[in-house]
Structure formats: C-alpha cells, structure tokens
Amino acid sequence: MKNMQAQYTAITNANIVLENGILWDGVLLLEGGKIHSFGAARDMEIPAEAAVINAKGAYVGPGFVDIHVHEGGKYTTYYEPAEAAEHFLRHGTTSLFATPYYSMTFDEIMRALRTLREAMGKVKTLKGVYMEGPYTNPDYGANSATNPWRAPIDEKQMRAMVDEAGEMVKVWTIAPEREGILSFLKYAKEVNPAVRFAVGHSEATPMQIRALGKYRPTVLTHAFDATGRLPVYGGTRGYGPDEYCLKEPEVYTELISDSCGIHVHPEMQQLLLHNKGVDRVVLITDSTYQDSPNPENLKHVKDLNFDPWGGISGSKMTMDQACRNIMTHTNCGIAQAFLMASTNPSKVVGLDEELGSIAVGKAADLVFVDDRFNVQEVMVGGELCHFS
Ligand SMILES: [Zn+2]
C-alpha cells in the first residue's frame, strides 16, 4: 500500500528497461519525484519506510516522449492540451509536445501558441511545442490545396510568431528551399538559442540543406513521408531530405510506424533502422483526428486518418501502439523500442538531462508494460496515475 508519508517509493519485481539492455528482476528506488537508485533485487536495500509498488514482472521503462502529435481522441493538443494530454497519458506518454498544423492560418497559430503558453506548467505532461511549419513547402503533405502559406515570408508575421513561441517551441520544421528561410532561422535562434530545426514537407536537395550552415536541420520530419526529390538527369533517381538524412549520421529521423506499414512500408522501416541505427530513429505518432472515411481499399486500417480526398492525414496512434508496430515490422526488441519512443526524442528536444531514460537523478516518469506494450501503469514524477 502506498503511504503518502513515505520518503521513498520502491518498485519491486520489475524488469527495468535501461538504455543498454534490460535489468531482469530489478528494484527501482524513487525519491522526491526522481530516480534515486536501481539495481538487481539481491543488491538493493529497500528502506523500511518506503512505499512499495509490486510491478509483478512488468517491463518498467522511461515514459514515452511524443514530440510530434496534433490531436488525440477528439482533442487538439494545441487548443485543448489538458484533454489531449490525458488521452495520451493513459497510453504511457509522460512528455508531450503540442503540434499545430502547417496548414493553420496565422491567427490560428497565434491562438494556439497563446493557449499553450497558458497551459505550460499547468498540464504536467505538456513539455513544449513542436511547430510543423508554417514555412514548409505547400506542395507536400495533406491539405496541400488549402495551405495558406504559399506567399513569400512576411517579416512582420514571422517575427510575431517567433516572439509568441519564445522558449516554448523546441523544434520548427522548415523547407530549406523556401525563399527567405534563412532570415526566419536566424531570428528563431536569436529568440530561443536552444531551438532545433527539422527538415520536412520539402524537396530540398542535400546541398540546399547544407547551405544553411550552422542553422541546418538536425532532425528529419517523418522520414519517407511528404518529401520530394528534384528531378536529375533523365532516368536517374533524384535526392532530397530523406537522402540527406540517410547520409548524415548525426541527423535524427522521425518515423511513423503504423500497424499496416502504410506511412512507411516495413521494408523501408527496416532500411531506415539498418541505416540510421536505433540511436537515431525517433518514433512519433503524428496523431490527428479526421472525420473522413477510409478509402475502399484501406477499410480495414484502424490506426490511420485520411483526408477527404483519400490521402493519408496522420495517424490515430498512441506511442504504445507505435512501439508494438515497430516490433512487428522490424527486428527491434523491447529495449530498442523504448530508445526510439523515449530516449531519442528526449535528445531531439534537448531534455535528455532530465528525462527519457532510467538513470539516477532523472524524473521518475515511468511506464509499466507487458511484452506486447500493453500499458499496465503510468507514473509521473514518482506518482502512479489513477484514471477515471
Ligand atoms: Zn504532423
């Protein structure tokens, strides 16, 4: 039983998922919302006053970090962050980055940023914002026809948005081929020196990306989705953002791994893992909410959304499913799935000193799962979540 007075919480009978493997039959000791220590049961001394939680043989790993997620259930992460965060918390996401759409208008984006600023600190799992755009290439991605950002970058609007974003926005996705993009990148970095850039919804060549110098993206937004390749000499294959990312070893790459391998075919997921390694792939849900029906030939697909024209428009996924899916489509195991769902994303947003893995001093944000990633318990700051 949990004793509210206890200084320590001990999680016993746990298979603790570490960055480099699994500690079977381990004990985790938590104190003040953080990980105090952990080890094999035979080596750990549990303080007499500790509250004890029996994990009953579950895998206990770092809570999921979803850096790219628009909507959950029927709630938007950017207008209704509390409700959306609750939806994802049930599925083990203990750090969420609200993600406005690239096709939202200026006024909608400003409203979203103001809403999120209000919510920061109040919604405990909301850790920041991921801006997918708006300065992407409108020719790539869903809602292409209605994308309001075709005009050249308006300096005044751009500055207003960056100012409102402040330090809350951790990542901006951009298309390097957009005219005037460098002035945006410089200003975003001036306002928030810790900000990172992602390349996505783009057909930029590796040379165009490299030309951004110290502002060049360190992340690829959803690999193999919504990118193009400029044509090269007749009959040969072009190269674009995906190829840049495959070639540059330090670049992280987001992956949408849905149950049927529709966003990215299993063969391509295997290629990505083989090429980038488990240290550079970042699982995202890119979850959205759409009312449009599935196209006839994809009626059976449960975890995807489609736009009114039958195009793919994000997923209905949660991170527990994403982990299960990547284990279905590749030779990835449980510890590797946690790397891609928790550790790597925490590095992309620069919060890996505080969270994203089980290490002494990090936040006791934990998820208990079985070997199919069915979530059994979720813990935030050392407290078990109780869902109504
Ligand atoms: Zn997205």
pLDDT tens-digit series, residues 108-149: 999 999 999 999 999 999 999 999 999 999 999 877 778 899
Average model confidence (pLDDT) across the chain: 94
Q: For residue 182, report the distance from its CA to the centre of ligand 1, in Å.
A: 22
The pLDDT value given to residue 146: 83
Q: For residue 378, report the distance from its CA to the centre of ligand 1, in Å.
A: 25
pLDDT tens-digit series, residues 303-321: 888 888 887 777 899 999 9
Round to whole Å and give the CA distance between 324 and 328: 6
How confident is the model over 346-363, as a mean pLDDT? Answer: 98
The pLDDT value given to residue 237: 87
Q: For residue 141, report the distance from its CA to the centre of ligand 1, in Å.
A: 9
pLDDT tens-digit series, residues 12-62: 999 999 999 999 999 999 999 999 999 999 999 999 999 999 999 999 999
Q: For residue 70, report the distance from its CA to the centre of ligand 1, in Å.
A: 7
The pLDDT value given to residue 2: 47
- Positive or negative torsion for Cα 122, 124, 126, 128: positive
**Phi, psi torsion values for 166, nearest 5 degrees:** 50, -135
Q: How confident is the model at residue 233 (pLDDT cuts 50, 70, 90)?
A: confident
Q: In whole angstroms, how far apart are CA 383 and each of 9, 60, 365, 367?
A: 9, 14, 8, 11
Q: How confident is the model at residue 3 (pLDDT cuts 50, 70, 90)?
A: very low
Round to whole Å and give the CA distance between 82 and 126: 8
The pLDDT of residue 159 is above 50: yes
Element (H, E) at 210: helix 206-210
First-residue to last-residue Cα distance in the chain: 20
Q: How confident is the model at residue 382 (pLDDT cuts 50, 70, 90)?
A: very high
Q: For residue 164, report the distance from its CA to the centre of ligand 1, in Å.
A: 21
**Phi, psi torsion values for 340, nearest 5 degrees:** -80, -25
Q: For residue 271, report the distance from its CA to the centre of ligand 1, in Å.
A: 22
The pLDDT of residue 11 is above 60: yes
Query: How many degrees, rounded to 5, is the angle at CA 328 between CA 314 and CA 219?
Result: 50
Range with the lowest mean pLDDT among 165-169, 235-239, 274-278?
235-239
Q: How confident is the model at residue 240 (pLDDT cuts 50, 70, 90)?
A: very high
Q: How confident is the model at residue 6 (pLDDT cuts 50, 70, 90)?
A: low
pLDDT tens-digit series, residues 257-289: 999 999 999 999 999 999 999 999 999 999 998
Read off the pTM: 0.95
Q: Kindly state the tokens that stand for 242.
A: 């995906």
Round to whole Å and give the CA distance between 367 and 253: 24
The pLDDT of residue 299 is above 60: yes
Give the long-range contacts of residues 81-86, CB within 8 A, separation 24 or more. Answer: 81/115, 81/116, 81/119, 81/123, 81/126, 82/119, 82/122, 82/123, 85/123, 85/124, 85/125, 85/126
Q: How confident is the model at residue 1 (pLDDT cuts 50, 70, 90)?
A: very low
The pLDDT of residue 204 is above 70: yes
Identity at 176, one-letter amino acid code? P
The pLDDT value given to residue 5: 55
Closest C-alpha among 118, 228, 222, 225 to residue 177 = 228
List of domains in the chain: 8-60+369-384 (2.30.40.10), 64-355 (3.20.20.140)
Round to whole Å and give the CA distance between 173 and 195: 11
By the 8 A CB rule, do 332 and 278 touch? yes
Which residues are within 8 A (CB) of 243 and not within 5 positions of it... i.e. 6 or more apart? 206, 229
* Protein residues placing their CB within 5 Å of the ion ligand 1: 132, 286
Q: For residue 132, report the distance from its CA to the centre of ligand 1, in Å.
A: 6
DSSP code for 147: -
The pLDDT of residue 367 is above 80: yes
How confident is the model over 339-350, as a mean pLDDT? Answer: 98
